[in-house]
Chain A
Amino acid sequence: MCLAIPARVVAMDPAADTATVALGTVTKAVSLALVEDVAVGDYVLVHVGYALSRISPEEADRTLALMAEVARCGDETTNPAGLGGEGAS
């Protein structure tokens, strides 16, 4: 049961232990009861009205870089036998 969305913290209400997060220009109030040391500008995963964890920008960049590198290597390889063909053009 996994639908959690990354959203940016735009405002905090420490007294209520909540924050306002934004996804694009859509904002929502979420509870911070499950996280610590969250600051405005951080990205958090939102699940059923709660922030579940911070997203690490460094790790996100690293993952994307790995994907791009793999993809680049893939471009240089040809494989007549294993290619799926459907949509993978």
Chain B
Amino acid sequence: MRYIEEFRDQGLAKRLATSIAAEADPGRTYRLMEFCGGHTHAIFRYGVQDLMPFNLKFIHGPGCPVCVLPIARIDQAIGLALDHGVTLCTYADLMRVPGSERRSLIKAKAAGADVRMVYSTQDALAIARADPGRQVVFFAIGFETTTPPTAVALRQARAERMSNFSVFCNHVLTPPALRAILSSECDDGVRIDGILGPSHVSTVIGSAPYGFVPAEFGKPLVIAGFEPLDVMQSALMLVRQLNRGRCEVENQYTRAVTPEGNRKAQALMAEVFELRETFEWRGLGHLTGSALKIAPAYADLDAELRFPMAPGEGREVKGCECPSVLRGVKDPVDCKLFGSVCTPENPMGSCMVSSEGACAAYWSYGRYRNPGPVALEARQAPGEAA
């Protein structure tokens, strides 16, 4: 698989690890936040932390749109399916996220609601076309990577004059979330030395929007590719910047990210969406200008306008530390519910449900590590082929 396997090469990884260890200054620590949940997942899945020197630690950021989705919005989506009798189309990642009273979309489906897992907004459109008499709502979440596909669907629905399709929009933006994390750094007492910027959000928005991170907060940011070697090379680039007192935006993912980004996708988003004044993020509170809603020109396709929905309170489970974990303030093990009441089978909060949430990643991949190579060769009888 081209452009995937080369960036997972074990030989290169080992040698990169040696380089990082060689350049990391033993007199200090390096706390690097990977903003994007996909990076969190990659770090855990490949055991990248094991290859880092002791004084380099990854802090897991909030770039997981499932994790930051407020409970109230999940409740509203469940309500759409159960009370309004719509066909609710959703990405698989959302099926098990617990809302209030531990309800979820998968439980609503078991209770008879028409909840359909889709891989693409195109699937949702196809479902709506197949049954014109039924209202179909697409539950849209995601950062700037996933927003353009929703924009395409809305324009297509408009062009085809579909009257039974609408979108429940929960798209959020990366720069405001970054800003919120960096602003609360002092309050939280979490020191962040540098940022690994998201891969595919940056493909869409480009590298230009991150300029405020060094300019206003004095932290270096490296846009990192998605594969483990990309993460390692980006960590090395941050270590170098910090060692030399440099502070700038660098792009490690040059094969997919340009300074201006994907103009076509940006134009589509600008046509169909506009900024919400404020939006509540799980863990980060209310952030201004941080989320999108459907623009007036497309209001007839806005599920929030088509269906009366109670705003809902969204009660967090008592003791759930998702908000702190999301900001990197606490580790999953610091949460009293982790591993006792809250497990992947029985998730209390979104950090455990989402496959890239820090709690899920920590549980699945990193609960207990006994590092050291697994020796298969020793088991072979002499002369036997492997």
Contact = CB atoms under 8 A, between A and B. Distances in A.
Direct contact of A and B (CB under 8 A): yes
Interface of A: 1-6, 8, 23-24, 31, 33-36, 43, 45, 47-50, 52-53, 55-57, 59-60, 62-64, 66-68, 70-75, 77-79, 81-89
Given A66-B233, A88-B51, 20 more contacts: A1-B36, A2-B200, A4-B203, A34-B265, A43-B2, A43-B3, A49-B149, A50-B120, A52-B204, A53-B256, A62-B254, A64-B7, A71-B18, A74-B19, A75-B18, A82-B26, A82-B53, A87-B51, A88-B18, A88-B50
A23 B1 contact: yes
Given A52-B200, A53-B262, A73-B19, A6 B2 contact: yes
B264 interface: yes
Contact of B198 (A2, A53, A64, A85): A2
Contacts of A55: 3, 255-256
B18 A74 contact: yes
Contacts of B25: 82
A56 B255 contact: yes
A87 B149 CA distance: 40
Interface in B1-29: 1-4, 6-7, 11-12, 14-26
B288 interface: no
A68 B12 contact: yes
Contacts of A62: 254
Q: Which 9 interchain pairs have the tightest Cβ spacing?
A: A49-B120, A74-B19, A71-B15, A2-B38, A6-B3, A88-B17, A59-B255, A60-B255, A79-B22
Interface residues of B, number: 73
Interface in B205-254: 225-226, 229-230, 233, 236, 252, 254
A73 B11 CA distance: 14
Interface string B297-310: 00000000000000
A67 B119 contact: no
Contacts of A77: 18-19, 22
B371 interface: yes
Interface string B306-342: 0000000000000000000000000000000000000
A35 B171 CA distance: 21
A84 B91 contact: no
A52 to B, nearest CB: 6
B255 A48 contact: no
12 contacts: A1-B146, A2-B38, A24-B1, A49-B120, A50-B120, A63-B225, A74-B15, A79-B21, A86-B50, A86-B51, A87-B51, A89-B14
A83 B26 CA distance: 9
A3 B1 CA distance: 15
Contacts of B58: none
A7 to B, nearest CB: 9
Contacts of A83: 18, 21-22, 53
